[in-house]
Amino acid sequence: MQFSGVLTALVTPFKNNVLDEEVYRAFIERQIAEGIHGLVPCGTTGESATLSHEEHERVIDICIDQARGRVPVLAGAGSNNTVEAIRLTRFAQKAGADGALLITPYYNKPTQEGLYRHFKAIADAVDLPLVPYNVPGRTGCSIAPTTLSRLARECPNIVGVKEATGDMAQGSRILEQCPDTFSVLSGDDLSALALLALGGRGVISVTSNLVPARMAAMYNAFSKGDLGEARKIHHSLFPLHEALFFESNPIPVKTALELMGIMRAEMRLPLCPMGESAKQRLEDVLRTQRLL
């Protein structure tokens, strides 16, 4: 399994602090109808950190059921506890996910050898394509290109990485050191096109929660060799990419979805409603983007 294109890092809608299954299914259907290339439930944008294990599993089950094989589902299954990550990844495999997205262990700050052993233990425990997720701004540790290369060559089911540093030097080193079949996916909308130009295969996107068709169009244009069109779409979306990080993700994207009338901007503590000043700036961008 090679993951490519634009995969949406799905938000998780709540109503009165409970998963809103009806809204979630409709939201997934909208994503597929607008041409998205894949779905990622239970990532950072999906507030996985505050989902119970039962909720986590239900969110993945719904996504797989609603997608019905029309697009791949890359299920969030990582943890800073290797045993827990194995359990979540085994669940993703049993549920029928096409792969699992595995956050680098956070807080406990393992060494590169510890990261290697963590991901290898998961890879040895399942028969499922795996994609480590490197976002040191959230986790406090970064997986080195040499470690990724070692994993990619020794573990056939570690098939790619979500590289969310926005650092093109890091991306270049990963692309240089890993096999050609290894899928390097951007985890940063702002630099996604740049990583594609270096040899990346796609992006796990926050922005596509709002504009899946436009994000898919950027990738489609690039993949057809129409760099001018891809660049045009990238520049048109750049203010939106920036606006969705006026505050911590997923606060702005959920606020935007509420302003657009798609779902409630309900989040779980310690996330809280967007500040009024930042919300007004976000609303101004949405109006400029003709989303309101």
Token duo for residue 131: 């994609």
Going residue by residue through the chain, which has 292 residues, state the pLDDT in tens, using 9 for 90 and above.
789 999 999 999 999 999 999 999 999 999 999 999 999 999 999 999 999 999 999 999 999 999 999 999 999 999 999 999 999 999 999 999 999 999 999 999 999 999 999 999 999 999 999 999 999 999 999 999 999 999 999 999 999 999 999 999 999 999 999 999 999 999 999 999 999 999 999 999 999 999 999 999 999 999 999 999 999 999 999 999 999 999 999 999 999 999 999 999 999 999 999 999 999 999 999 999 999 9
Q: Where are the domains of the chain?
A: 5-227
Q: What is the pLDDT of residues 250-283, one digit of tens each?
A: 999 999 999 999 999 999 999 999 999 999 999 9
Q: Is 106 a known active-site residue?
A: no
Token duo for residue 92: 């993703």
C-alpha to C-alpha distance for 149 and 16, rounded to whole angstroms: 44
Q: How many C-beta atoms surround the C-beta of residue 105 within 10 A?
A: 22
Catalytic residue among 133, 219, 254, 279: 133
Helix (H) or strand (E) holding 50: none
pTM of the model: 0.96
State the amino acid at position 9 in one-letter form. A
32 touches 213 (CB < 8 A): no
Token duo for residue 63: 């996504």
Q: Is 133 a known active-site residue?
A: yes
Among 215, 213, 209, 179, which Cα is nearest to 196's? 215
Catalytic residue among 15, 24, 120, 162: 162
Helix (H) or strand (E) holding 93: helix 82-95
183 touches 159 (CB < 8 A): yes
Coil/strand/helix, residue 164: coil
Q: How many C-beta atoms surround the C-beta of residue 30 within 10 A?
A: 14
Q: Which CATH superfamily is domain 5-227 in?
A: Aldolase class I (3.20.20.70)
